[in-house]
């Protein structure tokens, strides 16, 4: 697919949860990563408001195993410590395939739509493990990114057949990603076939709920935004030193 990248992401633990369960209490991970978690990983590799990343599919490489840990989170009421049990995925590893498209809801950034340069920088960032820290669901679950071919290697579920995971949180649609300026939440029903999960596009999810109206952050060149042409030129100079 056009503007596509492929990579492997892995770590010691992962915690992919429904946002509703984020505040307080005990947390239990989904068995598979959410679309939003994978999108966050891709955006940590490379992102600009000019583009929108779409997760095409994920391949589950290791067996789905969980581990329970006793933790002492901070209470939101009085900043004291609480006691809770979190259930993590253990030794997760995924192959991810994603692509970007230009965000048509940002006409103010039309001058930054150089497809080839964005793609080249994204591929370079994949090979270097990303621009920002990678997390597998939550901050305490450090992740690592490496370049790989999506269909390379053998996975635990390669000949496992079909598994359905029921209703599951898909992701958020932010105000600058839709035409109505709303923050929206999406629900879908994922199915894994021989270890692979193909994601539906955000607008095709079964359930889309509006949360609230919100504003869109503005970007101004040379103030809080650097064009891809300038960035690409800087990278080119660094490579040829």
Helices then strands (H, E): number in the chain?
3, 15
For residue 34, being part of any structural domain is answered with yes
Domain count, the chain: 1
Residue 154: the pLDDT is: 96
For residue 9, being part of any structural domain is answered with yes
Residue 236: the pLDDT is: 67
For residue 119, being part of any structural domain is answered with yes
For residue 151, being part of any structural domain is answered with yes
Task: Please choose, from the candidates 182, 130, 169, 146, the residue with its C-alpha nearest in 3D space to the C-alpha of residue 32.
Answer: 169
Residue 205: the pLDDT is: 96
For residue 17, being part of any structural domain is answered with yes
What's the pTM?
0.92
Alpha-carbon gap, residue 217 to 199, rounded angstroms: 28
For residue 220, being part of any structural domain is answered with no
Alpha-carbon gap, residue 117 to 50, rounded angstroms: 12
For residue 232, being part of any structural domain is answered with no
Q: Are strands 27-28 and 84-90 parallel, antiparallel or unpaired?
A: parallel
Q: Is 212 exposed, middle or buried (0-12, 13-18, 19+ CB in 10 A)?
A: exposed
CATH number, position 108: 3.30.70.2660
CB 216 within 8 A of CB 181: yes
Torsion of CA 84, 89, 95, 97, to 10 degrees: -40
Residue 238: the pLDDT is: 63
For residue 215, being part of any structural domain is answered with no
The segments of the chain whose pLDDT lies below 50 read none
Give residue 38's domain range.
Answer: 4-169+190-203
Residue 195: the pLDDT is: 97
Residue 150: the pLDDT is: 97
Residue pLDDT, tens place only, 19-74: 877 766 788 999 999 999 999 999 999 999 999 999 999 999 999 999 999 888 77
**Interior CA angle at 175 toward 174 and 176, to 5°?**
95
């Amino acid at each position: 697919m056009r503007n596509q990248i492929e990579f492997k992401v892995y770590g010691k633990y992962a915690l992919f949860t429904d946002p509703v369960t984020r505040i307080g209490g005990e947390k239990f991970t989904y068995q598979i990563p959410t679309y939003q978690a994978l999108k966050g990983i891709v955006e940590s590799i490379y992102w600009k408001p000019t583009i929108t990343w779409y997760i095409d599919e994920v391949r589950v490489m290791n067996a789905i195993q969980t581990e329970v840990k006793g933790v002492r989170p901070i209470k939101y009421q009085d900043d004291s410590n609480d006691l809770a049990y979190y259930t993590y995925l253990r030794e997760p590893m995924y192959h991810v395939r994603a692509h970007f498209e230009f965000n048509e809801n940002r006409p103010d950034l039309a001058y930054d739509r150089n497809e080839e340069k964005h793609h080249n920088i994204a591929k370079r960032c994949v090979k270097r493990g990303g621009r920002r820290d990678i997390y597998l669901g939550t901050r305490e679950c450090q992740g690592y990114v490496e370049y790989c071919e999506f269909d390379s290697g053998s996975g635990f579920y390669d000949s496992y057949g079909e598994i359905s995971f029921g209703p599951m949180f898909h992701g958020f649609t932010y105000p600058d990603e839709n035409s109505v300026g709303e923050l929206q939440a999406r629900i879908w029903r994922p199915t894994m076939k021989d270890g692979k999960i193909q994601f539906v596009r955000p607008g095709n999810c079964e359930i889309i709920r509006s949360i609230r109206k919100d504003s869109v952050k503005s970007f101004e060149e040379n103030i809080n935004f650097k064009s891809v042409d300038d960035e690409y030129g800087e990278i080119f100079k660094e490579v040829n030193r």
